[in-house]
């Protein structure tokens, strides 16, 4: 909390300006180690000032700069949406035009670029380079926007996105790791940035199959987006180093960033996390009306809560390469936090009772 600023946003360090990325990091850290109550961190977040800080960064085209006088960046849009959803400050006013802006960042390859580039005429041009990190941020952002923009996935080319994403996994000779861009080398961090899209893409394709959309595109779909055991192999046998920590690739030193992303990708490859209708039904039945009528009537509020908290681990579908001693906890595909951490923080700020993290009613 020492890095919280008078504006409501968080800075990356002492004497620095508030910025969307450290704001996301700070709130996620508080989801893990914080709690309600005095000095627990959660009550000390000034959500009113934070909301105003977010609005101050909004641009006319619906996007956001990452800080005052900063650049527009897909990562910033994602970080803002994560924090706004976790803390119950997501509103139509905040996200107006953002879905259309994100969709305009999809490139001819199918992945997403860091930002939208405007032509001299003022029209939006799909001129950026598809990148694993920006694509994950774009896809997760569209899921987070869905409670307020129900038809959001009609704005993008899903078959092209799936085709691009599956092409990012390396061959067996490359250890079956992921690259972040076409014709680049594999890198352990993309186990999360690309591999972490697996639950999201799987859910979207299954939706299309259920509704009969694009039948020819999905007729040979076997419900496997990536080679999950290949991801585990790269992480455990290639990215992991003997002295501890994980790395980009052989020849590179381990570091905190690559350790975190490798392990998040490993979690996604080991566990099958799905949107559970059972969990959604239980949560909807337990929904408590807010004491403030204005809060309760806010568009999309309950749906934002349900859409994030309905994700659950499909028990019995896990696969641990090398045995259960290699197990790590499952992560939420939208936040890169444990499902329990997401539900506890959102339960607090939305005034709801969390349910357990696996599929099935909370008995």
Angstrom distance (rounded) from CA 327 to CA 138: 29
Average per-residue pLDDT in the chain? 92
Q: Where are the alpha helices (DSSP H) in the chain?
A: 20-33, 47-56, 74-86, 92-95, 98-103, 132-145, 158-166, 190-193, 198-211, 215-218, 228-233, 256-270, 277-285, 293-296, 301-309, 339-350
Q: Is the pLDDT of residue 306 over 90?
A: yes
108 is catalytic: no
Q: How many domains does the chain have?
A: 1
Which pLDDT score, from 0 to 100, does residue 356 have?
Answer: 65
In a domain, 195, yes or no: no
The active-site residue out of 19, 28, 116, 187 is 187
Lowest-confidence pick of 93-102, 114-123, 146-155, 175-184: 114-123
Q: Is the pLDDT of residue 220 over 80?
A: no
Is residue 13 within 8 A of residue 3, CB to CB? The reply is yes
Structure tokens at 95: 């996200």
Reported as a pLDDT band with limits 50, 70 and 90, residue 226 is very high
Which pLDDT score, from 0 to 100, does residue 240 have?
Answer: 97
Reported as a pLDDT band with limits 50, 70 and 90, residue 157 is very high
Reported as a pLDDT band with limits 50, 70 and 90, residue 360 is very low
In a domain, 150, yes or no: yes
The active-site residue out of 190, 234, 305, 335 is 190
181 is catalytic: yes
Which pLDDT score, from 0 to 100, does residue 361 have?
Answer: 40
Give the three-class secondary structure for 24: helix
Q: What's the pTM?
A: 0.94
**How many Cα atoms are found within 13 Å in the side-chain-facing hemisphere of 120?**
0
Reported as a pLDDT band with limits 50, 70 and 90, residue 222 is confident
In a domain, 33, yes or no: yes
19 is catalytic: no
Residue 223 vs residues 161, 176, 220, 266: alpha-carbon distances, Å: 16, 18, 9, 19
Reported as a pLDDT band with limits 50, 70 and 90, residue 358 is low
Give the closest residue to 66 by CA, choosing from 137, 139, 156.
Answer: 137
The active-site residue out of 19, 58, 181, 348 is 181
SS3 content of the chain, % helix, strand, coil (to 5): 45, 5, 45
In a domain, 318, yes or no: no
Under DSSP, the state recorded for 169 is: B
Residue range 100-136, pLDDT digits in tens: 999 999 999 999 999 987 777 777 767 789 999 999 9
Q: Is the pLDDT of residue 294 over 70?
A: no
233 is catalytic: no
Residue 185 vs residues 40, 203, 233: alpha-carbon distances, Å: 43, 28, 17
In this structure, what CATH number is given to the domain that contains residue 125?
A: 1.50.10.20
In a domain, 48, yes or no: yes
261 is catalytic: no
223 is catalytic: no
Residue range 38-64, pLDDT digits in tens: 889 999 999 999 999 999 999 999 999
Residue 63 has φ and ψ, to the nearest 5°, of -80, -175
Q: Is the pLDDT of residue 191 over 80?
A: yes
Positive or negative, the CA dihedral 275, 277, 278, 283 is: positive
Helices 301-309, 277-285: crossing angle, 10 deg rounding: 140
The active-site residue out of 233, 248, 348, 350 is 248
Residue range 229-280, pLDDT digits in tens: 999 999 999 999 999 999 999 999 999 999 999 999 999 999 999 999 999 9
Question: What angle (nearest 5°) sits at the alpha carbon of residue 145, between those of residues 143 and 147?
Answer: 95
Torsion of CA 181, 186, 190, 194, to 10 degrees: 60
Residue 74 belongs to what domain range?
A: 17-156
Which pLDDT score, from 0 to 100, does residue 310 have?
Answer: 96
Give the H/E segment covering residue 124: strand 124-125
Give the three-class secondary structure for 194: coil
Residues paired with 321 in a beta bridge: none
In a domain, 267, yes or no: no
Give the three-class secondary structure for 209: helix
Is residue 177 within 8 A of residue 190, CB to CB? The reply is yes
Question: Residues 314-320: what's their mean pLDDT?
Answer: 93
Reported as a pLDDT band with limits 50, 70 and 90, residue 217 is confident
Reported as a pLDDT band with limits 50, 70 and 90, residue 291 is low
Structure tokens at 210: 């259920």
Structure tokens at 94: 């905040």
Give the closest residue to 351 by CA, choosing from 278, 298, 277.
Answer: 298
In a domain, 324, yes or no: no
258 is catalytic: yes
Angstrom distance (rounded) from CA 114 to CA 17: 22
In a domain, 41, yes or no: yes
184 is catalytic: yes
């Amino acid at each position: 909390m020492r890095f919280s600023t008078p504006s409501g946003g968080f800075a990356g360090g002492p004497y620095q300006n508030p910025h969307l990325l450290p704001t996301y990091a700070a709130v996620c850290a508080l989801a893990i180690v914080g709690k309600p109550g005095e000095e627990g961190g959660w009550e000390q977040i000034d959500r009113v000032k934070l909301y105003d800080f977010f609005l101050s960064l909004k641009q006319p085209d619906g996007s956001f700069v990452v800080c005052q006088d900063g650049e527009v960046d897909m990562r910033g849009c994602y970080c803002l949406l994560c924090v706004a959803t976790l803390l119950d400050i997501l509103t139509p006013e905040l996200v107006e035009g953002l879905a259309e802006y994100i969709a305009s960042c999809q490139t001819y390859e199918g992945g997403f670029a860091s930002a939208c580039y405007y032509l001299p005429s003022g029209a939006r041009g799909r001129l950026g380079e598809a990148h694993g990190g920006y694509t994950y941020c774009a896809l997760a952002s569209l899921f987070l926007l869905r409670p307020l923009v129900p038809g959001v996935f009609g704005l993008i080319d899903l078959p092209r996105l799936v085709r691009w994403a599956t092409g990012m996994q390396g061959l067996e000779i490359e250890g079956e790791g992921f690259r972040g861009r076409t014709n680049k080398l594999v890198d352990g961090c993309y186990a999360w940035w690309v591999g972490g899209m697996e639950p999201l893409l799987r859910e979207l394709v299954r939706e299309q199959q259920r509704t009969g959309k694009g039948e020819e595109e999905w007729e040979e779909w076997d419900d496997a987006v990536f080679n999950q055991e290949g991801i585990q192999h790269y992480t455990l046998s290639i990215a992991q180093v003997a002295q501890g920590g994980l790395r980009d690739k052989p020849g590179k030193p381990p570091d905190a960033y690559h350790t975190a992303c490798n392990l998040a990708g490993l979690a996604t490859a080991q566990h099958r996390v799905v949107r559970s209708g059972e969990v959604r039904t239980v949560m909807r039945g337990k929904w408590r009306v807010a004491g403030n009528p204005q809060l309760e009537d806010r568009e999309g509020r309950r749906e934002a809560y349900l859409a994030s908290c309905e994700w659950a681990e499909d028990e019995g579908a896990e696969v641990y390469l090398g045995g259960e001693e290699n197990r790590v906890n499952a992560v939420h595909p939208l936040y890169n936090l444990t499902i329990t951490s997401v539900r506890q923080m959102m339960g607090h700020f939305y005034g709801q009772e969390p349910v357990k993290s696996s599929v099935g009613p909370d008995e």
